[in-house]
Amino acid sequence: MDSAVANFIESELAATKGVLAQLYAQTDYRNILAQVAELYIDRLRAGGTLLFCGNGGSAADAQHIAGEFVSRFHFDRPGLAAIALSTDTSILTAIGNDYGYDRIFARQVQALGRRGDVLTVLSTSGNSPNVIKAITAARDGGLTVVGLGGGNGGAMAELCDHLLLAPSAVTPRIQECHLASYHLLCALVEARMFGALQG
C-alpha cells in the first residue's frame, strides 16, 4: 500500500476514534441518552409511534434507526412502531411540489403524528429549514422532540426537548456519533422492554 494512502486511512480512523472517545467521556451525553431511551419506552408502551427525519446521510440514518425498531436489533421480539419520513417518494414529491421542499417533513408530522408521539430529528448542522419546520409542527401537535446534532446544535438546539450533540463540527464525525447514539438507543429500548434490563 502507498504510504500516503496508509497515512490517510490512519488519520481518518484516528479522527473517528477520537470523537467517539470524547463522546464516551461525556457524562451528560450518557444521562440524556438514558432519558431518551426511557421516553421512547414510555411512549411505545402507551401505543405511540417514533417518527424520524433528516436530509441526505441523515435521511439514511432515519431509515436505519426506524428499521432497527420495527424489525429487531440484538434479538427477536415484537416489532416496535417507528417510521422514517424520508422513505415515500410519492409523498415527498407531492409535498415538495405542492408546498415546497421545506414542508416535506412538517406535513407528514401533521398527518401522521399524534399527541404523545416522539419526533427525532437528525441534522449535522441543526439549521435545515425542513427540519426546523418539522420540529415546529411536532411541538404544535403535542409531540416530544429529540434532536441528534453536532457542534452547538444550530437553530434546532433551542427547539428540542432532548438534544444529543456530537462533540464535533465535522459532518462525517457527527454522523459516526449519531450511528453510535441510535444503536445505543435501540439496544437500550430492546433490553428494557424485552430483555435482561426489563423493569
Instruction: Check whether 123 is labelled as a binding-site residue.
Output: yes
Instruction: Check whether 55 is labelled as a binding-site residue.
Output: yes
Instruction: Check whether 68 is labelled as a binding-site residue.
Output: yes
CA distances from 29 to 24, 59, 141, 178 (A): 8, 23, 27, 12
- Calculated CA dihedral for residues 177, 47, 110, 95, nearest 10 degrees: 70
Cα–Cα distance for residue pair 99/149, rounded to 1 Å? 26
Instruction: Check whether 181 is labelled as a binding-site residue.
Output: no
Instruction: Check whether 162 is labelled as a binding-site residue.
Output: no
Instruction: Check whether 27 is labelled as a binding-site residue.
Output: no
Instruction: Check whether 71 is labelled as a binding-site residue.
Output: no
Residues linked to residue 165 through DSSP beta bridges, in sequence order = 149
Instruction: Check whether 168 is labelled as a binding-site residue.
Output: no
Instruction: Check whether 124 is labelled as a binding-site residue.
Output: yes
Please, what sign has the CA dihedral across residues 163, 56, 106, 100? positive
178: enclosing H helix or E strand: helix 171-194
Known binding-site positions for Zn(2+): 64, 68, 175, 183
Known binding-site positions: 55-57, 64, 68, 97-98, 123-125, 128, 175, 183
Known binding-site positions for substrate: 55-57, 68, 97-98, 123-125, 128, 175
